[in-house]
Amino acid sequence: MPGPPGSRSNVGLIIGLVVAMVVVLVLTVVGIGVVASRSGGDDEADPWAGDYSPEGVTNTCHLVDTTVFDPWAPDQTELVHHEDIAGQYGGPSIDCRTTNSGPNSAYVTFKIDVAFETDLYGLELDRAKRSDTEILPDDYVFGSVTGLGEGGYYGVRNPPDSDRYLGYTMAIKDSNVLVDVDVAVISDKAFDQAEADRICRYQIGKILDNLRK
């Protein structure tokens, strides 16, 4: 017995609605599964996706040689370190700063900063260099650094009217870290660009060795 007029179209409409609801339900379940799997993966993933990790570091100054400037200024008057592993102030970072003094107003400041790359905070060597060129005095001369990490740059300030002062900065990018060193030396004992380069490479090498997983 034939059904009432339009019954076939109604049945088709009902079937279509059921199929659509099933599709929506399946997509919703799949979506929840994807979100859940991503959340679970994030919990288990290594937060330091690279060759270096600051985990366990409680004193950055223990990762470098704080006696290296003793020949120029043997009396250490300041040693300060900071470890922001959680990245509360713009990304995970650690640093160490020392100040030394000596005879005839000898004076040395040294600082090393290490920034770590995360999903939220990237590291760009070019941006760091642009920042240094804007902040440091105009008479700094910049060049490239090779043979250390993935490479980097240096900046040197050696005023022609002063044979007792030299300022030096070096920054290196490697894997998930950016290491920046700043040195300023005032001393009667000779301290030239080659010496500054050697010491900065030495300190950066120690940092990388100590932070390597």
pLDDT in tens, 26-65: 333 333 333 333 334 444 566 788 999 999 999 999 999 9
Contact 157, 136 (CB under 8 A): yes
pLDDT in tens, 54-100: 999 999 999 999 999 999 999 999 999 999 998 887 789 999 999 99
Residue scoring higher pLDDT (29 or 3): 3
Fold of 60-211: TBP-like (3.30.2030)
pTM of structure:
0.77
135 pLDDT above the threshold of 50: yes
Predicted local confidence at residue 44, as pLDDT: 55
Predicted local confidence at residue 124, as pLDDT: 87
Q: Which residues of 150-184 are buried (b: 16+ CB within 10 A; e: fewer)?
A: eebbbbbbbeeeeebebbbbbbbbbbbbbbbbbbb
Predicted local confidence at residue 93, as pLDDT: 96
24 pLDDT above the threshold of 50: no
Return d(Cα 88, Cα 160) in angstroms, integer: 42
Question: For the residues 202-211, what does the mean pLDDT come to?
Answer: 98
> Which range has highest mean pLDDT (11-20, 31-40, 43-52, 135-144)?
135-144
**Helices and strands (H and E) in the chain: how many:** 3, 7
Lowest mean pLDDT among 66-70, 115-119, 150-154, 206-210: 115-119
